[in-house]
């Protein structure tokens, strides 16, 4: 029974109490009581007459994107001939921490209503959506019925395919400049000879083949194609220094999302993409390939990455790469250096890697420290906070400067700008013919 029934029942009792002093009210009280009982029976009959008065459907992808808004749609459909008033409680994943949200409304006969919300997962792995239960009422609001719908399901959160597609469009479509991807003019010549062809207006004069021109008595030019199929490895540090969170997403997960984006761009550019993960031990070692299933293998490997919260072993990383990566490659190392000491401890192995390969070290600026450093200081405590924040920011800048002085390509970036800055550096190296 609903609160409206109890309110009407209390009113009837009051009428009977008043009937002791005003006898004429007894007849009115009897009529009201009879009406209440009759309407309640009719209302209960309407609510309970159908075995399945409504149907509930939840629509979402079984693979969700890490750190992105994933759309979920709940559809309620009325299968009866009368309108139904309802309150629907969704079985949100525990991680959403949603306890008080109730979807309410009136759905007409033989019609449906959609409710939409977004789920933003902050970790990879499995998430469970629970059952849905609905409380329905007729338009009299005197009786209610609870119905449970077994819609429990498990979904998997993968590195963001949505971001991968977005950056792919930005790189290969015309609007890429406004989206943060730089247009970089190709410098130098890192091309392979393809063929000799007739000169057409617009061909570069420096490509004219004078020997072929003299033989054919017409202008002939050399045609080149961009050198492709170079090895590109994303190397992800899974140690405890990658567990710091920004916007509830760890630096490890930012790196995993960016590695998926970067690998897709490299494959689309004609290069071979591979993956290496490490901490105190070597984790995944996926050889650089350009086969059709490589992107799927990279995605599955990134989905399963876990940390043991250990210190990173750069010596082990160097020895493993020396044994397994034989040809010159671009190594994109996602790591984090909080102190100059940590960087200098790794420097001998980074320099050795850079001697045989092109090493790009990508590490993170602390966006929260930047806010502290540049906020107006009104108290002594805030002055101290700003000074410490500026000091820690300057350490990161010094680390980046020392890496560059040792000939190592360096990207110091905010977490939210990680993918854009990494892609821009890759395109810059491609344009310079550095790889």
206: containing domain: 191-226
pLDDT tens for residues 189-230? 445 555 787 877 667 777 888 888 888 888 888 776 555 578
**Maximum mean pLDDT: which of 6-15, 185-194, 227-236, 342-351:** 342-351
Separation between Cα atoms, residue 431 and residue 408, nearest integer Å: 17
If you average pLDDT over residues 175-196, what whole number do you get? 55
Query: What domain count does the chain have?
Result: 4
Indicate if 204 and 278 belong to the same structural domain. no
Clarify whether residues 319 and 372 are in a common domain: yes
310 lies in the same domain as 416: yes
The verdict on 296 and 423 lying in the same domain is: yes
pLDDT of residue 430: 83
pLDDT band at 175 (very low <50, low <70, confident <90, very high): very low
Residues 146 and 214 in one domain: no
pLDDT digits (tens, 9 = 90+) for 379-406: 777 676 777 667 777 888 899 999 999 9
- Asked whether residue 197 falls in the same domain as residue 247, the answer is no
Residues 129 and 58 in one domain: yes
More confident residue, 146 or 314: 314
Which pLDDT score, from 0 to 100, does residue 96 have? 86
pLDDT in tens, 310-364: 899 999 999 999 999 988 999 999 999 988 999 999 999 999 999 999 999 999 9
Task: Look up the CATH number of the domain holding residue 327.
Answer: 3.40.50.410
Which positions ≥6 away from 251 have C-beta within 8 Å?
242, 243, 244, 245, 336, 364, 415
Q: Is 309 left (phi over 0), alpha (psi -120 to 50) or beta?
A: left
pLDDT of residue 142: 66
Decide if pLDDT at 431 tops 70. Answer: yes
Check whether residue 8 and residue 96 sit in a common domain: no
Q: Is residue 12 over pLDDT 70?
A: no
The reply to whether 182 and 319 lie within a common domain is: yes
Do 317 and 235 touch, CB atoms closer than 8 A?
Answer: yes
Q: Is residue 307 domain-shared with residue 408, that is, in the same domain? A: yes
Pair (396, 327) in one structural domain: yes
Backbone phi, psi, residue 237, to 5°:
-80, 120
End-of-domain residue from the set 11, 33, 48: 48
Residue 188 pLDDT grade (very low, low, confident, very high; cuts 50, 70, 90) = very low
User: Are 242 and 389 in a shared domain?
Assistant: yes
pLDDT of residue 84: 84
> What's 78's domain CATH number?
2.60.40.10
Average pLDDT, stretch 25-38?
Answer: 60
What is the DSSP annotation of 195-263?
A: EEEE--TTS-GGGB-HHHHHHHTS-EEEEEEE----EEEEEEE-SGGG--EETTEEHHHHHHHHHHHHH
Q: Which residue(s) pair with 115 in the sheet?
A: 74
């Amino acid at each position: 029974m609903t609160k409206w029934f109890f309110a009407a029942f209390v009113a009837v009792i009051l009428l009977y109490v008043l009937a002791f002093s005003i006898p004429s009210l007894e007849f009115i009280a009897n009529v009201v009581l009879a009406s209440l009982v009759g309407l309640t029976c009719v209302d209960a009959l309407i609510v309970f007459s159908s075995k399945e008065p409504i149907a509930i459907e939840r629509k979402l992808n079984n693979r969700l994107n890490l750190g992105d808004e994933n759309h979920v749609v709940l559809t309620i459909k009325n299968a009866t001939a009368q309108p139904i008033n309802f309150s629907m409680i969704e079985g949100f994943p525990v991680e959403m921490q949603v306890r008080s949200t109730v979807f309410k409304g009136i759905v007409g006969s033989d019609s449906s209503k959609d409710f939409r919300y977004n789920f933003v997962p902050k970790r990879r792995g499995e998430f469970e959506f629970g059952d849905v239960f609905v409380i329905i009422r007729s338009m009299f609001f005197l009786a209610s019925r609870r119905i449970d719908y077994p819609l429990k399901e498990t979904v998997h959160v993968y590195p963001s395919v949505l971001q991968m597609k977005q950056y792919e469009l930005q790189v290969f479509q015309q609007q890429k400049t406004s989206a943060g991807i730089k247009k970089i003019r190709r410098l130098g010549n890192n091309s392979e000879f393809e063929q000799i062809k007739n000169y057409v207006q617009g061909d570069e004069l420096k490509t004219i083949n004078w020997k072929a021109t003299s033989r054919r008595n017409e202008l002939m030019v050399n045609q080149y194609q961009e050198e492709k199929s170079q090895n590109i490895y994303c190397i992800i540090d899974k140690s405890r220094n990658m567990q710091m969170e920004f916007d509830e997403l760890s630096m490890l997960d930012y790196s995993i999302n960016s590695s998926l984006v970067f690998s897709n761009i490299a494959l689309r550019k004609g290069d071979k993409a591979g993956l290496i993960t490490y901490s105190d031990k070597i984790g995944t070692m996926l050889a650089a390939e350009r086969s059709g299933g490589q992107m799927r293998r990279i995605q599955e490997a990134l989905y399963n990455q876990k940390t043991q919260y250990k210190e990173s072993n750069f010596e082990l990383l160097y020895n493993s790469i020396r044994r397994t990566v034989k040809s010159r490659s671009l190594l994109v190392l996602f790591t984090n250096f909080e102190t100059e000491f940590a960087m200098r401890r790794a420097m001998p192995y980074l320099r050795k890697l850079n001697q045989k390969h092109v090493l790009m070290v990508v590490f993170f600026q602390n966006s929260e420290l930047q806010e502290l450093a540049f906020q107006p200081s009104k108290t002594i405590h805030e002055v101290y906070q700003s000074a410490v924040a500026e000091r820690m920011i300057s350490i990161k800048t010094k680390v980046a400067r020392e890496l560059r002085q040792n000939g190592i390509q360096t990207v110091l970036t905010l977490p939210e700008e990680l993918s854009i800055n990494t892609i821009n550096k890759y395109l810059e190296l491609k344009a310079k013919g550095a790889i």
